[in-house]
Structure 1
């Protein structure tokens, strides 16, 4: 009998809602043990998951499962880039952006059913100043919110929306110079989002036409924001539609360079990365294997 493919589950013990679910017990109950062998490990600090994932890939592990939120998924995926080991997700975060784009069920039993079927495909990833991202990266207001939200004790969509509503009026537009598809754009910038996947998370779609397998970044530029534009942009994000041209502009490209007059905040997959005055953003085509349902994920 041939050896069963091995799965490593990497659990972030701090992820998830207050009503904790015993994820190790869910794995034991719903994983197809006749098809897979497995082990379960726990992260002990920020930056631990890439080490655990890379170690698993080097040892020939077939699948590594990120059990946590978007930050955990990003860390595990970073450890698997350009390897033959596939990423799977058991969503335990507040946004679950990549899981939602890949149509992975949010509930553990449903996500484990997808895992048991073992359908593997390959997706693109992005890089902003050397930091890999798999859903979105950005500069401007969304990065500012990421920096504030990181220190927020309350999590979840309601807390995020409350924070956005509180901070949006006080945020300053900043001038940027962006090089996209051979053109140089000098503009004020409220937010510039670089999307590999269509949404931030929580089904908030910043780039409805983004295809995670097309070898392109979808760039969404919001130059200035007033109340009318904010309402239009919010409606489009919640209904998975392109915003009106007066509210946002969209570009498809493989590479973006941005220079700013003063340091701007940036994020990768919702994790605040810091401030700088120069950004280099590019796509890495078909660089990560993932486990998905056997349906279109474009």
Structure 2
């Protein structure tokens, strides 16, 4: 039996943008077989990646690699929380939020090579109503877009932007009560984003100052959104700047509670999770090991 460290690749065969690349062949070509032995498994249903990751961690695999988009990364990472097994990412989605934040190569071959030379780091994670997230979670408009996007056959940034432009004109802000940093706020909410990492994905920075290792949650509250505010907020997201105070407010905290009169949608890492009128968001410092470039 080999004494080399083991890597498990978990592939979502239907994740993200369409690709004809033979991932298994590229892994065999570029993964250093003198340093690691590996196996490849495929997901069959929602949640399967978490089960496969948990099993690998229990068997003391050194690294488990999520091959897919943000949803696949989230599922695999959930199975590795508070273990000694590190998460690797071969990004094949449309947003690739965590891969971008960790400055991992988006090119498949270079991402595989990073597994040969990379180092292990620890990052924070969060939960929204006990659903783990690693980049962002949110309530309001971004969660609504997540629900619409999930049912759309077309993927990618262009489709996402088209949906935002179409739906932003009719989506209404709702009253909410927020407890944050020992303050109680009665306010309107068009969107409230809870950021562990700086961006949603596609280099759209909702919380430019977020640090994935500081144990703090960066909260972006957009109370109401008109055309002028939407332009300012969009420009700032694409240029990694804080929006002006008329467009958005920012907070740093370790936990947030939100209550609403009407049911509001919410998401975790871009995956729509449902509707409710009570939210609790918490940080879990240094809860996940990840492979990053040396």
Fold in common (TM above 0.5): yes
Post-superposition offset of 1:112 = 1.1
The secondary structure found in structure 2 opposite 1:170 is coil
Counterpart for residue 226 of structure 1? 226
Q: Deviations over 1:198-222 (max 9, x none)?
A: 0000000000000000000000000
Counterpart for residue 263 of structure 1? 263
What aligned pairs does 1:120-135 form with structure 2 within 5 A after superposition? Answer: 120-135=120-135
Post-superposition offset of 1:2 = 8.0
Counterpart for residue 144 of structure 1? 144
The secondary structure found in structure 1 opposite 2:51 is helix
What aligned pairs does 1:92-171 form with structure 2 within 5 A after superposition? Answer: 92-171=92-171
Does 2:259 align with 1:252?
A: no
In structure 2, the gaps of 5 or more residues are none
Post-superposition offset of 1:16 = 3.7
Q: Distance in 2 between matches of 1:186 and 1:114?
A: 47
Q: Distance in 1 between matches of 2:75 and 2:35?
A: 26
The secondary structure found in structure 2 opposite 1:77 is helix
Post-superposition offset of 1:70 = 0.2
Counterpart for residue 43 of structure 2? 43
Q: Distance in 1 between matches of 2:151 and 2:92?
A: 19
Q: TM-score, normalised by structure 2?
A: 0.99
2:16–2:155: 8 Å Cα contact kept in structure 1?
no
In structure 1, the gaps of 5 or more residues are none
Q: Distance in 1 between matches of 2:187 and 2:10?
A: 43
The CA RMSD over aligned residues, in Å, is: 1.0
Counterpart for residue 205 of structure 2? 205
Counterpart for residue 176 of structure 1? 176
What aligned pairs does 1:86-97 form with structure 2 within 5 A after superposition? Answer: 86-97=86-97
The secondary structure found in structure 2 opposite 1:144 is helix
Q: Which 4+ residue blocks in structure 1 deviate beyond 4 angstroms?
A: none
Does 2:28 align with 1:28?
A: yes
The secondary structure found in structure 1 opposite 2:168 is helix
Post-superposition offset of 1:172 = 1.0
2:8–2:64: 8 Å Cα contact kept in structure 1?
yes
Post-superposition offset of 1:261 = 0.6
Q: Distance in 1 between matches of 2:233 and 2:20?
A: 34
Structure 1 window deviating more from structure 2 (126-135 vs 20-29): it is 20-29
2:180–2:255: 8 Å Cα contact kept in structure 1?
yes
Q: Distance in 1 between matches of 2:91 and 2:159?
A: 19
What aligned pairs does 1:33-72 form with structure 2 within 5 A after superposition? Answer: 33-72=33-72
The secondary structure found in structure 2 opposite 1:247 is coil
Post-superposition offset of 1:18 = 2.3
The secondary structure found in structure 1 opposite 2:79 is helix
Q: Deviations over 1:51-109 (max 9, x none)?
A: 00000000000000000000000000000000000000000000000000000111111
